[in-house]
Amino acid sequence: MSGDSTPARTSELAMRIASALALAALALSLLYVGGTSFAALCAVFAVLIALEFRAIVEARLSRELALAMLALLGLVIALWFGAGPEHSALALAGGVVVVAIWELLSQRSCWAAAGLAYGGSPFLALSMLRGQDAAGAIVVLLIFAMVWGTDILAYFAGRAIGGPKLAPRISPKKTWAGFVGGIGGALILTIGVAIMFRISFGIGLLLLAVFISVVSQIGDLVESWIKRHFGRKDSSNLIPGHGGVMDRLDGLIFASVAMWAVSAALGAEALVPDAPARALTGNLIGG
């Protein structure tokens, strides 16, 4: 039994790594290009997230509410490209409130409103953070580093060390060792990006990496809870070795919104001082 399962686990890990590398290459390439191209990638992922969310909670979602959720997400995306981020953000906030009220009155739940927020929030956060300047590009790159570092080391630390479970009723495989390892992974990749782009950094950026790593892992647990609540293992089978888009981006969904909030409070330039002048090319700055 053990001998038969080892090649299968190796093959699954190889497929998981290959899929992750392909998605990372796509995300980094379009992050470099910026502008409409990166926003379009975020829009595609937003729609896929919403569709997978709808499929998971379908038992609690009427056809009318599902259509309203998807139509409003389409409006949010269309307004971003047509009228600008302010109108898009207002449409998302208003849409979530209206759908939540409708849903509470008709079905005593908020799954459609949650699905709209789940798809629309990371689209807006990442697109607004990237913007048209170098500081925004580096901030998004830092999000990727923090989330990917968390995912990688949490996975391997959890499997290698094991130990007490983090939240056994929500996600039986996650351990405290994986949680701490994930924070370590975020710190390692954050420092790597800072050194590579010659960003001035200190305790503030390291604390930000810890914060984003924790938020990312909370996002992972929230998605696990939603799937367990509805009796689902994966959000879909779209990505080999990972499941669905929600499964792959669960941490990024929460982390991007948290980073947008920090950036809105402090400014992107405060997070990555000196980076635009020192390290980035015109293509990265441009849209």
Which residue type occupies 102? W
Taking residue 18's Cβ as centre, other Cβ atoms within 10 Å add up to 12
Confidence tier at 15 by pLDDT (50, 70, 90): confident
108 vs 91, higher pLDDT: 91
Q: Which of 177, 155, 72 is nearest to 114 (CA)?
A: 72
Name the token pair of 105. 């009155």
Q: What average pLDDT does the structure give for the chain?
A: 88
Confidence of residue 63 (pLDDT cuts 50, 70, 90): very high
Q: Can you tell me the mean pLDDT for 269-273?
A: 70
Confidence of residue 136 (pLDDT cuts 50, 70, 90): confident
Q: Which of 248, 46, 263 is nearest to 140 (CA)?
A: 263
Spatial CB neighbours of 233, under 8 Å, sequence gap ≥ 6: 227, 243
8: pLDDT confidence band, cut at 50, 70 and 90?
Answer: low
Residue 217's closest CA among 285, 266, 280, 148? Answer: 148
Looking at residue 189, its pLDDT comes to 97
What pLDDT is stored for residue 11 in this prediction? 74
pTM: 0.89
Token representation of residue 222 = 């929230």
The pLDDT score that the predictor gives to residue 281 is 39
User: Would you place residue 36 in the very low, low, confident or very high pLDDT band (cuts 50, 70, 90)?
Assistant: very high
pLDDT tens profile 217-266: 999 999 999 999 999 988 888 887 678 899 989 999 999 999 999 988 88
Name every residue whose Cβ is closer than 8 Å to that of residue 212 and which is 6 or more positions away in sequence: 143, 146, 147, 150, 186, 255, 258, 259
pLDDT band at 273 (very low <50, low <70, confident <90, very high): low
pLDDT band at 5 (very low <50, low <70, confident <90, very high): low
- Per-position b or e across 201-228, b if 16+ CB within 10 A of its CB: beeebeebbebbbbbbbebbbbbbebbe
Query: Among the listed ranges 56-65, 114-123, 131-140, which one has the minimum average pLDDT value?
Result: 131-140
Q: For residue 29, what are its two tokens?
A: 């390439």
- Among 103-117, 128-142, 184-198, where is mean pLDDT lowest? 128-142
Which pLDDT does position 274 carry in this prediction? 62
